[in-house]
Chains A and B, each alone.
Chain A
Amino acid sequence: MRIDLLEDDPDQAEMISHWLTEEGHDVRWYRTGGDLTRALHRDVPDVLLLDWVLPESSGIDVLTWVRQSFLGRIPVVFITAQDSEEHVVTALQAGADDYLVKPPRRRELLARVQAVGRRAGAIQPAEILTGTDPYVVDVGHRMISLRGKSVDLTSKEFDLAAYMFANAGRLVKRGVLLERVWGRSQTITTRTVDAHISRIRKKLAIDETNGWRLISVYQHGYRLERAA
C-alpha cells in the first residue's frame, strides 16, 4: 500500500518507515502538516499515519482538514504518545479509524495498518496458493504457516518462498529469482539468493518430514518439489 506518515521526530519516522517498507509498503514521510497537505493535493495514499503533537499544526488539525477536504475517506491511524482516554476519544470522534499509543509495537502496527487498509478496500482479499500443504501460503496477507503455526519471515524471505511455492516442481534460475524478488536495479548478487534460500529452507523446515525438499541444481538454480 501507499502510506503517508506525518511524524516530526526523525528517530520515530525512520523506524516506522523501516517496518512498513520491509513489509512491502511504499512510505512517504512528512515532518509538518503543511508538507503533508500539500502532498495530498497531488497524490492520495491508501493509509495515513498521523502523529498528534507537531511543530506547526497538530495531527487533529490535519485530520479535520482531511475529513473536510475533497480527499474522501482515507483511512487514518493516529500514532501518538497521548495516551489518555480523552485523547483517544477526541481522535476517534474527529474521524480517526484507529489509534496506537507510542511506542508502537512492530507487529501490532503492521496488523492495524493492514486492517484499516483492508476495510478501506486498499488490500485485495487474501490469495492463498493451493497444493502447498502442510504449508499455507497466504499471498494476500504475506504470511506462511506450517501446520497452522505462522512462520516469522522477512519481507524478502516471504517473497522468495512464495515464488518458489507458486512455481513448485519447476527449476527456477537464480537470475529469475534475483529479478522477481529483488528487482533488476538492485546490486544484489546470486550469493544473496543462496543465503536466502538457505534461510527459508531452515525457517520453514522444508525437508522430508514435511513432505517437501528445496534442491539446488548445480549452476542453474533451485527447485522446490514434493519429497517422494
Chain B
Amino acid sequence: MVDDMVPEPLRRRYIDTFPDKSAALSAALDLLANGDAAGPRSLRDQAHKLAGSAGMYGFDDVGQLAREIVHSVDGGTADAVGAGLTRDLIAILNSASVRFGL
C-alpha cells in the first residue's frame, strides 16, 4: 500500500488529512441522501481530488475507489452506485487513520 519513493514527512502529512477527507466525503454523502442538488457535484469534487493524489502517496486502493466514484457521478449513478462506493472509501480512510494512530 505504501510507496518507498514517498518521503516519510510528505506521506505523514497526507495521512494526517484523512480525517478531514473522510468528513468531507460524509458531508457530500449527506447532501446526496437529502436529495440536495449540490450532492453529486460535491461528491465528485472530493473524489476527484483523492483520485488524483492518493496514488502518488502510495494509496492506490483509495485512488482507484475515488476514480470509480467520479465515474459513477459522471455516469449519473451517484445515488445507486456512488453512495455505496463512498461509504467504502470512508471506511478505508477511517481504518487507515486508526492504523496510523490518528
Binding site for B on A (CB under 8 A): 9, 11-12, 14-16, 18, 53, 80-81, 102-104, 106
Cβ-defined contact, B48 with A103, below 8 A: no
**Closest-CB distance, B48 to chain A (whole angstroms):** 6
Q: Which residues of B contact A102 (CB under 8 A)?
A: 51-53, 55
Contact size range, B: 10 to 19
Q: How far is the CB of A52 from chain B (nearest CB, A)?
A: 10
A12 touches B56 (CB 8 A): yes
CB < 8 Å A-B pair total:
44
Distance from A7 Cβ to chain B, minimum over Cβ atoms (Å) = 9
Residues of B within 8 A of A18 (CB): 7, 10
A123 to B32, CA, bound (A): 50
A15 and B52 form a contact (CB under 8 A)? no
The contact of A103 among B10, B13, B55, B70, by CB within 8 Å, is B55
Scoring A15, A16, A104 by chain B CB atoms within 10 A of each residue's CB, the highest score goes to A15
The 8 Å CB contact of B52, one of A14, A81, A106, is A81
Asked if B54 is an interface residue, CB under 8 A from chain A, the answer is yes
Q: Which residue of B lies closest to A106 (CB)?
A: B5
